[in-house]
A and B are shown apart, each in its own frame.
Chain A
């Protein structure tokens, strides 16, 4: 896969601030992948996104988009990307359809609004004022807004935050479909389950520095224990045993337990992305938001 974005030694400092918010970060986003960007509040996630979507300028370092310096792109760059901000961004006294039609007129390529709004379950409410929409509906409308111009790349900031599981699944399916049709996705989220389910690779950013980049699977293997844990019942008691993964098929005690005992649970010792997040960033996630 080719790199769609290459970020090299990116440094950024806000006006009037002494210290760099981004301290020379390096990463690339491959064409057709879903790339997750994780980190605690104030780590530099949003700043990185703002820089690579050309909202923030005056950075140091190199950013290549499709092999060309990002600074060499004019506003036509926005024909190529779709952005969904975390907060709902619409004209509240206009209907959802009026909002979408207005924004779509600004682009050359045009997606089918009816199809998109139907997909996220909003077509029936297309003539409602956005001000009357619930938070969840506004978030789904953000996604439609991001896809209006048939972008090649999507930037999603906390796309499922505030959604119930059903609607979160609709958006996640939509993101996967977008990727399966060749699109690339840059996603920031603190909902680890979503990141785990969606992302091909994730980067952890802490205090303006990237501490880890890999696939969720590799990270879980690397940070996890190479063991199998099983629980079985014996004499009305639950007994837990742990075996190393190495030569498990030749481990006589393990095979004997499997054959002779009433096994209740069996798990590999891989860790969760959330545990890795805590380990790498040193910050605990807000449980209410997971």
Chain B
């Protein structure tokens, strides 16, 4: 991988996130969530803040990368990337990294605002690590999903279905509605629950137990496998199929 070119690709992706108003949308969402959290107190706040960070790092990552992919599909710009010296891995990783950087800053904005306004006990290193790992994994999944969706509306429908299947059980578990011990193990194979585990562990008191390490390993190894064997290997076929050139 050529460092300079990779750097330019990431920079280009970040500029486009800004130009295509994805950054504006994510900042507005961060502000809306900030306002909501400002009026929430006590235990609900303590549950809601990690939950919103989780949604930002998981579902919103899927949506942001989906919107980028469909903008590019509409403008056939992936075709022209295929005839540059950029490697497919550089093109894909630049999108994943740019989306992660973008998401990291929108999440950081919420956290910083609440550190200043409210007394939050948080480990900055662990929350940064958690947000980065969760976003990297879900952006990779988002890329893969976009290969198989006809348009952004279909992608949104798919994301909503995934939300229903994956987020709801995790949310119910997070709000102590699902309380049986078995859920603790079943939900760990759910990447959103794994992301919830590592995000929750960033709030004090910190207890880095086996579930934390399992979740980190699951998201990192799972993300690498999805990237290598699905996203990267199917990229060329996808790019040619949408190119129309």
Query: Is B20 within 8 A of A145, CB to CB?
Result: no
Query: Is A78 within 8 A of B15, CB to CB?
Result: no
Closest partner residue, chain B, to A46 (CB atom) = B245
A182 to B81: give the CA distance in the assembly, Å: 26
Interface segment among B52-60, B71-79, B204-212: the answer is B71-79
Q: Verify if A245 is at the interface (C-beta below 8 Å from B).
A: no
A86-B245, A91-B19 given; A106·B76 CB < 8 A: no
Report the minimal beta-carbon distance from A21 to chain B, rounded to whole angstroms.
Answer: 14
Query: Is B245 within 8 A of A157, CB to CB?
Result: yes
**Per-residue contact bits, chain A 144-159, to B (CB 8 Å; 1 contact, 0 not):** 0100000000000100
Closest partner residue, chain B, to A108 (CB atom) = B85
Query: Is B15 within 8 A of A55, CB to CB?
Result: no
Size class of the B contact interface (CB-based, 8 Å): 20 to 34
Report the minimal beta-carbon distance from A93 to chain B, rounded to whole angstroms.
Answer: 5
Contacts of A79 in B (CB 8 A): 85
**Per-residue contact bits, chain B 6-43, to A (CB 8 Å; 1 contact, 0 not):** 00110010011001100000000000000000000000
Contacts of B76 in A (CB 8 A): 85, 87, 89
Interface segment among A97-105, A227-235, A277-285: the answer is A97-105
Query: Is B84 within 8 A of A91, CB to CB?
Result: no
Query: Is B245 within 8 A of A107, CB to CB?
Result: no
Contacts of B85 in A (CB 8 A): 75-76, 78-79, 106-108
A85 to B84: give the CA distance in the assembly, Å: 13
Q: Verify if A53 is at the interface (C-beta below 8 Å from B).
A: yes
Q: Verify if B243 is at the interface (C-beta below 8 Å from A).
A: yes
Q: Name the prevailing secondary structure of the A interface residues.
A: loop
Q: Verify if A226 is at the interface (C-beta below 8 Å from B).
A: no
Closest partner residue, chain B, to A85 (CB atom) = B245
The answer, among A75, A94, A145, A157, for a CB contact under 8 Å with B80, is: A145
A287 to B80: give the CA distance in the assembly, Å: 30
Query: Is A93 within 8 A of B20, CB to CB?
Result: yes
Query: Is A83 within 8 A of B15, CB to CB?
Result: no
Query: Is B20 within 8 A of A55, CB to CB?
Result: no
A59 to B123: give the CA distance in the assembly, Å: 55
Q: Verify if A241 is at the interface (C-beta below 8 Å from B).
A: no
A102-B12, A105-B8 given; A92·B84 CB < 8 A: no
Q: Verify if B101 is at the interface (C-beta below 8 Å from A).
A: no
Query: Is A81 within 8 A of B83, CB to CB?
Result: yes
Query: Is B83 within 8 A of A102, CB to CB?
Result: no
Contacts of B12 in A (CB 8 A): 102, 105
Query: Is B240 within 8 A of A90, CB to CB?
Result: no
Contacts of B79 in A (CB 8 A): 55, 85, 89
**Per-residue contact bits, chain B 75-99, to A (CB 8 Å; 1 contact, 0 not):** 1110110111111000000000000
Query: Is A106 within 8 A of B83, CB to CB?
Result: no
Closest partner residue, chain B, to A155 (CB atom) = B83
Q: Verify if A211 is at the interface (C-beta below 8 Å from B).
A: no
Contacts of A53 in B (CB 8 A): 83
From A55, A57, A107, A145, residue with most partner B Cβ within 10 Å: A55
Contacts of A98 in B (CB 8 A): 15
The residues in A between 141 and 195 inclusive whose CB is less than 8 angstroms from any CB of B are: 145, 157
Query: Is A90 within 8 A of B75, CB to CB?
Result: yes
The residues in A between 61 and 91 inclusive whose CB is less than 8 angstroms from any CB of B are: 75-76, 78-79, 81, 83, 85-87, 89-91
Query: Is A55 within 8 A of B82, CB to CB?
Result: yes
Closest partner residue, chain B, to A131 (CB atom) = B75
Contacts of B15 in A (CB 8 A): 94, 98, 102
Query: Is B245 within 8 A of A87, CB to CB?
Result: yes
Report the minimal beta-carbon distance from A97 to chain B, rounded to whole angstroms.
Answer: 13
Query: Is B77 within 8 A of A107, CB to CB?
Result: no
Query: Is A106 within 8 A of B86, CB to CB?
Result: yes
Contacts of A50 in B (CB 8 A): 240, 245
Report the minimal beta-carbon distance from B4 to chain A, rounded to whole angstroms.
Answer: 8
Closest 3 CB pairs of A and B: A105-B8, A83-B83, A89-B80
Listed by A's residue number, 24 A-B pairs whose Cβ atoms lie within 8 Å are: A50-B240, A50-B245, A55-B83, A55-B245, A57-B236, A75-B84, A78-B83, A83-B80, A85-B80, A86-B245, A87-B245, A89-B77, A89-B79, A89-B80, A91-B16, A93-B16, A93-B20, A94-B15, A98-B15, A105-B4, A105-B8, A105-B12, A106-B5, A108-B85
